[in-house]
């Protein structure tokens, strides 16, 4: 990481990576805030300590969060797999009713994200909070196996969405409490890679489980919900014993390591979890008053519109006229490729401290891939576009969440609220987008809408770039009146003293 811990010994040190603001001017304030336990460490000693902390956090946090996210996506997407095994026929559902069953999950999922993410800032054990939610949604998912009517399916799916609302925004906030700006991107990528593993192996697991169709008088789609839901409950309980708390009170770290973990975050943004007393409601109102948040919400709405293909990916692959088992198997390679590309996108983003050009490249690629299935029925060409679309259409979301957590960093409750608001309001696109996937094999309505969303996304993120660059110019001006305008957007006195800037754009 490019983290200047030797500032007390080298006052002229500065970050020199691409697109990174100079660290000049942070020396006195940074040193004064440094914990006494760290002041006497040499540069090599601190570097070794820092690396030890990161390794511990990576060992305990990333695998646990990753496994839970795999379960999250498997439990969310298994309805699409169940469609291929006759759930529509067994419950006498029409195509429109199935679309409603998919989208109703988000009716429960979206509104509960905001209060959940505000609450997590007040829990001393956020890992336990998240894992309890995992066990609850596993139970609810397993209960889907006993539904007998379309109405019962809608009720279970809505409740499932409310339980799952805890996880994703909570996990993003949780990661941002542990990792610095040069580390966060790759860790968010790890979360999305886990998502793609869930999508890929979810199809493979579903193909295997559905072979149980008829065993003990239970339909294949019922086995799917029973087995995957039960596994989620058990793994959620195990993970509750593993996930650490916040840096300031983590039981997996020694006191010196806790000081280091907190200082890593404080030295970038002036405060860390457990060191602020801002009220939850005040932070929420600050998030609502920030114009940057409005632009990021719209960007995420357009990005999640594109990402809606995940909800119908087995249907899209099924339009190639393969058997249901082959169609499920063919959903795996695109997600595996997406996971690999996600890592390299975020590795480059962290290394060069940039996101804007990467977002535009992904948008340009996705637009071309949307055109292919609308223009041809050639199986090879269509499957090629399906190989590319998962990473091109969803990749920008990783970069958006990195932007949210670094540009709307303080206070803590504001960051938590902003992350949930962007995901919740932006995610409303998943409700109406579910009704676009009709008209095989070209899916004109779906791909045409997704292409329009990509273009609007590009325009909006460009407007956001102009806004944050204007804020940086105000900070660089040294004019108290201009700096006061920037502070209205959430930049604190501590951040100004640290020479903080809106980066990556």
User: What is the CATH number for 198?
Assistant: 1.20.1250.20
Please name the residues in contact with 309: beta carbons below 8 A apart, sequence gap of 6 or more: 316, 389, 390, 393, 446, 450
pLDDT at residue 409, rounded to an integer:
67
Residue 316 falls inside a structural domain: yes
Residue 159 falls inside a structural domain: yes
- Tokens linked to 52: 């030890």
pLDDT at residue 26, rounded to an integer:
37
Residue 185: give the domain boundaries: 43-497
Q: How many CB atoms lie within 10 A of CB 186?
A: 23
Question: Cβ distance 31 to 7 under 8 Å?
Answer: yes
pLDDT at residue 413, rounded to an integer:
74
Residue 398 falls inside a structural domain: yes
Closest to 319 (Cα-Cα) out of 227, 446, 208, 213: 446
Q: Which residue has the tokens 């039981």?
A: 251
Over its C-alpha atoms, the chain yields an Rg (Å, rounded) of 23
Residue-wise pLDDT tens for the chain (505 aa)?
A: 444 444 444 433 343 344 443 333 333 444 456 788 888 888 899 999 999 999 998 998 888 988 898 888 777 778 877 887 788 888 999 888 988 888 888 888 888 888 888 888 777 788 888 999 999 999 999 999 999 999 999 999 999 989 998 988 888 888 888 888 888 888 888 887 877 777 667 677 777 887 888 788 888 889 989 998 999 999 999 998 888 788 888 888 899 999 998 888 888 766 655 555 666 677 777 777 788 888 999 999 999 898 887 767 777 887 887 777 787 778 778 888 888 898 899 889 988 989 999 999 999 999 999 999 999 989 889 889 989 988 898 889 889 988 987 888 667 777 778 878 888 888 788 778 878 888 888 889 989 999 999 999 999 999 999 999 999 999 999 898 998 888 887 787 878 887 888 888 8
User: Rounded CA gap, 297 and 461, in Å?
Assistant: 11
Domain count, the chain: 1
pLDDT at residue 269, rounded to an integer:
67
Residue 36 falls inside a structural domain: no
Residue 10 falls inside a structural domain: no
What sign for the dihedral angle of Cα 130, 259, 251, 180? positive
pLDDT at residue 311, rounded to an integer:
66
Q: Which residues of 299-320 are buried (b: 16+ CB within 10 A; e: fewer)?
A: bbbbbbbbbbbbbbbbbbbbbb
pLDDT at residue 17, rounded to an integer:
42
Question: Cβ distance 198 to 72 under 8 Å?
Answer: yes
Helix ranges restricted to H, 124-180: 126-143, 150-164, 167-176
Backbone angles phi, psi at 13, to 5 degrees: -65, 150
Residue 192 falls inside a structural domain: yes
pLDDT at residue 449, rounded to an integer:
93
User: Rounded CA gap, 198 and 67, in Å?
Assistant: 9
Residue 20 falls inside a structural domain: no
pLDDT at residue 348, rounded to an integer:
92
Residue 325 falls inside a structural domain: yes
User: Rounded CA gap, 41 and 36, in Å?
Assistant: 10
């Amino acid at each position: 990481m490019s983290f200047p811990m030797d500032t007390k010994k080298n006052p002229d040190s500065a970050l020199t990576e691409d697109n990174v603001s100079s660290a000049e001017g942070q020396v006195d304030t940074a040193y004064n805030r440094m914990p006494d336990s760290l002041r006497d460490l040499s540069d090599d000693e601190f570097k070794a300590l820092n690396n030890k902390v990161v390794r511990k956090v990576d060992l305990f946090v990333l695998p646990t969060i990753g496994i839970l996210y795999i379960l999250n996506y498997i439990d969310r997407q298994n309805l699409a797999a169940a469609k291929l095994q006759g759930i529509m026929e067994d419950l006498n559902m029409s195509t429109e009713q199935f679309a409603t069953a998919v989208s109703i999950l988000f009716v429960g999922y979206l509104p509960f994200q905001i209060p959940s993410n505000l609450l997590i800032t007040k829990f001393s054990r956020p890992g336990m909070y998240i894992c309890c939610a995992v066990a609850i949604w596993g139970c609810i998912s397993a209960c889907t196996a006993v539904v007998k009517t379309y109405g019962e399916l809608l009720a279970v799916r809505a409740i499932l969405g409310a339980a799952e609302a805890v996880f994703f925004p909570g996990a993003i906030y949780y990661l941002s409490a542990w990792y610095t700006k040069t580390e966060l991107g790759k860790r968010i990528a790890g979360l999305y890679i886990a998502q793609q593993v869930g999508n890929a192996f979810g199809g493979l697991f579903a193909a295997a489980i559905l072979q149980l169709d008829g065993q003990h008088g239970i339909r294949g789609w019922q086995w799917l919900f029973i087995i995957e839901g039960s596994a989620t409950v058990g793994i959620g309980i195990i993970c509750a014993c593993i996930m650490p708390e916040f840096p300031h009170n983590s039981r997996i770290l020694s006191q010196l390591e806790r000081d280091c973990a907190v200082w890593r975050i404080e030295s970038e943004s002036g405060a860390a979890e457990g060191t602020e007393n801002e009220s939850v409601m005040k932070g929420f109102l600050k998030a609502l008053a920030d114009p940057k948040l409005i632009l990021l919400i719209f960007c995420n709405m357009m990005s999640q519109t594109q990402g809606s293909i995940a909800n119908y990916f087995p249907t899209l692959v099924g339009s190639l006229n393969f058997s249901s088992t082959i169609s499920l198997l063919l959903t795996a390679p695109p997600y595996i490729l997406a996971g690999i590309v996600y890592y390299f996108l975020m590795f480059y983003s962290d290394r060069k401290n940039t996101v804007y050009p990467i977002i535009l490249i992904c948008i340009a690629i996705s637009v071309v891939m949307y055109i292919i299935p609308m223009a041809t029925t050639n199986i090879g060409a269509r499957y090629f576009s399906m190989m590319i679309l998962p990473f091109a259409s969803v990749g920008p979301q990783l970069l958006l969440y990195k932007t949210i957590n670094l540009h709307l960093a303080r206070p803590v409750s504001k960051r938590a609220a902003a992350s949930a608001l962007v995901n919740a309001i932006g995610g409303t696109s998943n409700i109406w987008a579910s009704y676009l996937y009709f008209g095989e094999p070209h899916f004109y309505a779906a791909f045409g809408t997704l292409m329009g969303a990509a273009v609007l996304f590009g325009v909006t993120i460009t407007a956001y770039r102009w806004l944050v660059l204007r804020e940086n110019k105000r900070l660089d001006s040294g004019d108290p009146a201009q700096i006061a305008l920037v502070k209205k957007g959430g930049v604190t006195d501590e951040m100004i003293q640290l020479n903080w800037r809106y980066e990556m754009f």
